[in-house]
Amino acid sequence: MDWNVVVTIRRDFARAIGLLRKLGAVERTGLFNVVVMRAPDVRALLEQIAQLPASERFFETISHVVPITHKLHFATADGFEQQVRDVVLAWAPQLAGKSVHVRVRRRGHKGELHAMELERRIGAALLDELARRRTPARIALDDPDVVIAIETVHDEAGLAMWTRADLERYPFLRRSIERGASRYEQLAAVEAAPSRGLLAAANRFTSRSRADHPASASEILELIGELEPLTLEKLVATGATLDEIAAAVSAIEDEDAFGEVHHLPSTAREAEVRAILEDLLFEDFEERESEREIART
């Protein structure tokens, strides 16, 4: 699909797909709870979402919606960065004298693309170009005049430039391009509230059955929702019971409905299930931690 929207699903995959299909064509990416869409007009899409009635509860199911206006394909990290620079520098006349925030969200190419380092280099190149034009700008992490959003999905990427007026008119867009807390920060936030949806699901399954037999594929799908076949196979292979999987699920919650660990795993199988889920949800944890170290230097 020639996509122009990246969507992260919070929970209830089937309902989310139903909501999204009212707005455009939807296609899976092979990434956990990430889909792409093709909307006829991204501006019209933003307006459609803004006009959705509260009763639709759209953002109880959908976490992030990021439309893009420029699409590119890349084979290497260097090729990606050069193509992104070309697009961003072409926006220089519109960024004269502005405060700018560059936001990269990487999905795929772990260890090759480093989001925060890319943000710094692209931001520096933009500032150099604007200084050369004698229309200097500055980088701002908080309340910028303009946000440049860069989304990667495997070997494709999309870019968009959103102004302060856009972010004020579509507040959900601001949330979509903000950086989520790192795994380290999530673990430190011991007061964070767990996901109501997943905890409710975990409690429902735990109270329904405490059988000690290994959970079946259908039971796992009913508890967790849509999963890639390989991930489902890994979870079944652990031999974990439904109680153990429910405990692992209830212990994890982040902005996309998984998160912090509240207690140590009670069994080796529960620990294995947690590891599988955390690999899905925090694929770039080590990268983010290394980037935090870079940022401190």
Residue type, 271: A
Interatomic CA distance for residues 12 and 7, integer angstroms: 14
* Domain identity same for 169 and 29: yes
Number of domains, the chain: 2
Q: Is the pLDDT of residue 105 over 90?
A: no
* Domain identity same for 80 and 98: yes
* Domain identity same for 66 and 113: yes
Q: Is residue 265 a part of any domain in this protein?
A: yes
pTM of the predicted model as reported, rounded to 2 decimal places: 0.63
Q: Are strands 62-67 and 70-73 parallel, antiparallel or unpaired?
A: unpaired
Interatomic CA distance for residues 234 and 14, integer angstroms: 22
Q: What is the pLDDT of residue 69?
A: 93
Interatomic CA distance for residues 147 and 102, integer angstroms: 6
Interatomic CA distance for residues 105 and 282, integer angstroms: 13
Interatomic CA distance for residues 30 and 148, integer angstroms: 25
Q: What is the mean pLDDT of residues 180-188?
A: 33
Under the banding of pLDDT at 50, 70 and 90, the label for residue 179 is low
Tens digits of residue pLDDT in 3-48: 999 998 877 778 888 999 999 999 988 776 788 999 999 999 999 9
* Domain identity same for 97 and 143: yes
Interatomic CA distance for residues 152 and 189, integer angstroms: 28
Q: What is the pLDDT of residue 188?
A: 30
Q: Is residue 296 a part of any domain in this protein?
A: no
